[in-house]
């Protein structure tokens, strides 16, 4: 960020040739400059480049307020917050004004009076772009006073008339004047409050306590909504929807590669993840399993698709597998950690509560649904990496009496010994590009064995914390 400008008075500002422009003009100009440079509109938001981003660009270039319509966990709030990057770095305002008044066109009584009295000596303050963003989660208990304003009884007690604009305590929308205001979950807002926003978005006036107050606010308004809300919790009244120029549909990642990119970018990273700590290596097939689990849940008839399956499920499951691998490596004194198929039991805790089932059952039903989805994810990923025919020699080794004992708490060296004893298993693991570390090989061993079991080529028996595969 550049330093705050040194200009301190209206006269100095005029001398620079400063020209007032609306927030929509400002965002439009900055977007055009960004497009010329080839810079992304929404840096850090993955998977929307060909779908959502072009529609947002069109809305901004057209000067349209917009509604982001989509299920939970589709980055709607993050998109709204990212739009702050299209604002100028610093904005001149009348010093002391509550509404970030434009020095050349003040809208508040305070700003108008100060400019009229002091002229070119009017003091100027500079507002950073981050301070020009306002956000409110819509709830049924929100009042028009929260959003627009209310008569301040203290100011009335000081002798002002109720009809005097100086008696108003301004709400969130006026205080975001010359900025971006985001209203999350708009259908949850009571219809009578939505009605109160109609004039504010179009004619720029409101009524407070029966008095018509002219508020010529300059705002870019972004609202978000979940399609389910239109029927289950509320709705956006038609006249208010009509005042939004664009309704943009967000979506979940359309493929596993995008899901993986998001969960890697969004996972929580700790400061101690350095060379001095135990490094955690995540094989590609384990990332694919996590992504496949979410993709399957979004198509499952047992999971409510109205509520959706958030990308947060993938992120949380990815983090959980990293934690399980690190815990094992620390306990066993291993230098490198890697998640395994046997760690997938842990994702039940990070998935449950983030999905809703279509029908209610007993307390264990949710866990069973998740376990079934995990198994399907493993077998789908396995079948993309291997054909059963090419693993026939390995199956024959087990038919000849071979067996393997692995598991969550089994040292990686045990898995490595299995690879040394079974060349057929060694060749299969080598196909997975798990590297030379024992932890990676252990992960590959469990993936191959579990894939064969789920394809009904090996039997599986649990014994405490160990798993025995045999024919």
Q: Dump pLDDT digits (tens) for 193-221.
A: 888 788 777 766 656 655 566 678 899 99
pLDDT band at 469 (very low <50, low <70, confident <90, very high): very high
Judge contact between 250 and 75, C-beta under 8 A.
yes
Domain regions of the chain by residue span: 10-249, 256-470
Predicted local confidence at residue 193, as pLDDT: 84
Helical H runs in 136-266? Answer: 144-147, 153-157, 172-175, 191-202, 229-232, 238-243, 256-266
**Strands 124-128 and 90-94, bridge-based pairing:** antiparallel
Q: How sure is the predictor about 231, in pLDDT bands with cuts at 50, 70 and 90?
A: very low
CA distance 347 to 317: 5
| d(C-alpha 15, C-alpha 8), whole Å | 12
For every residue of 315-380, DSSP letters joined together read HHHHHHHHHHHHHHHHHHT-SSB---GGGGGGHHHHHBTTB-BSS---TTHHHHHHHHHHHHHHHH
Q: Is pLDDT of 163 > 60?
A: no
Mean pLDDT confidence for 392-398 = 93
CATH code reported for the domain at 10-249:
3.40.50.300
More confident residue, 240 or 58: 58
Can you read off the two tokens belonging to residue 177? 């004047």
pLDDT (0 to 100) of residue 150: 73
The answer to whether residue 232 scores a pLDDT higher than 50 is no
**Structure tokens, 103:** 């020095």
- For tokens 């077998």, what's the residue? 379
- With a pLDDT cut of 90, the percent of the chain lying above it is 65
Length of the chain: 471
Bigger pLDDT: 169 or 427?
427
Give 192's contacts (C-beta < 8 A, 6+ positions apart).
Answer: none
Structure tokens at 343: 């760690």
d(CA 30, CA 424): 60
pLDDT tens for 43-94 read 989 999 999 999 999 999 999 999 999 988 899 999 999 999 999 999 999 9
**In the prediction, which pLDDT does 306 show?**
80
Q: What is the pLDDT of residues 298-331, one digit of tens each?
A: 999 888 888 889 999 999 999 999 999 999 999 9
> What does the alpha-carbon distance between residue 378 and residue 371 come to, in Å, rounded to a whole number?
11
pLDDT for 164 beyond 60: no
How far apart CA 284 and CA 423 sit, in angstroms, is 22
| pTM score of the predicted model | 0.86
Residues 91, 169: Cα–Cα separation, whole Å? 23
**What pLDDT is recorded for position 207?**
61
- CA 55, CA 59: separation in Å to the nearest integer? 6
Helix, strand and coil in the chain, % to nearest 5 = 50, 15, 35
For 344, 420, 425, 444, the CA distances from 416, given in Å and listed in that order, are 20, 6, 10, 10
The whole-number pLDDT of residue 159 equals 55
Q: Is the dihedral of CA 345, 350, 353, 358 positive or negative?
A: negative
Nearest to 86, CA basis, from 147, 24, 143: 24
Q: How far apart are the first and last CA of the chain?
A: 65
């Amino acid at each position: 960020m550049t330093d705050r400008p040194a200009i301190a008075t209206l006269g100095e500002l005029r001398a620079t040739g400063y020209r007032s422009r609306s927030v929509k003009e400002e965002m439009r100009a900055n977007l055009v400059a960004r497009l010329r440079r080839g810079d992304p509109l929404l840096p850090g938001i993955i998977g929307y480049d060909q779908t959502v981003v072009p529609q947002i660009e069109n809305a901004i270039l057209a000067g349209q307020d917009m509604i982001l319509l989509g299920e939970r966990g589709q980055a709607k709030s993050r998109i709204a917050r990212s739009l702050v990057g299209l604002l100028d770095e610093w904005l001149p305002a009348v010093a002391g004004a509550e509404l970030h008044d434009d020095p050349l066109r003040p809208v508040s009584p305070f700003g108008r009076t100060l400019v009229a009295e002091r002229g070119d000596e009017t003091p100027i303050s500079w507002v950073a772009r981050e301070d020009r963003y306002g956000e409110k989660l819509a709830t049924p208990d929100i009042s028009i006073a929260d959003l627009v304003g209310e008569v301040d009884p203290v100011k009335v007690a000081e002798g002002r008339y109720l009809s005097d604009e100086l008696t108003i305590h301004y709400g969130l929308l006026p205080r975001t004047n010359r900025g971006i205001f985001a209203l999350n979950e708009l259908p949850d807002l009571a219809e009578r409050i939505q009605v109160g926003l109609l004039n504010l978005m179009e004619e720029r006036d409101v009524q407070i306590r029966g008095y018509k107050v002219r508020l010529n606010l300059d705002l870019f308004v972004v609202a978000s909504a979940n399609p389910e809300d239109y029927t289950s919790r509320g709705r956006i009244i038609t006249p208010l929807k009509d005042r939004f120029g664009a309704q943009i549909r967000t979506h979940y990642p359309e493929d596993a590669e995008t899901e993986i990119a998001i969960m890697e970018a969004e996972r929580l990273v700790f400061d101690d993840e350095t060379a001095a700590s135990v490094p955690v290596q995540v094989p590609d097939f384990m990332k694919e399993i996590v992504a496949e689990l979410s993709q399957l849940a979004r198509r499952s008839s047992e999971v409510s698709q109205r509520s959706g399956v958030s990308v947060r499920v993938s992120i949380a499951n990815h983090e959980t597998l990293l934690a399980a691998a690190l815990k094992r490596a620390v306990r066993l004194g291993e230098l490198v950690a890697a998640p395994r198929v046997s760690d997938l039991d842990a994702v039940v805790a990070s998935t449950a509560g983030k999905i809703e089932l279509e029908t209610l059952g007993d307390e264990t039903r949710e866990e069973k649904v998740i376990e079934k989805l995990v198994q399907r994810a493993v077998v789908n990923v396995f079948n993309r990496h291997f054909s059963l025919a090419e693993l026939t020699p390995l199956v024959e080794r087990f038919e000849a009496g071979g067996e393997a004992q692995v598991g969550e708490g089994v040292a990686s060296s045990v898995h490595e010994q299995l690879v040394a004893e079974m060349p057929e298993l060694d060749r299969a693991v080598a196909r997975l590009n798990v590297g030379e570390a024992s932890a990676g090989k252990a992960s590959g061993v469990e993936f191959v064995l579990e894939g064969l079991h789920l394809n009904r080529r090996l039997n599986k028996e649990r014994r405490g914390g160990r798993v025995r595969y045999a024919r």
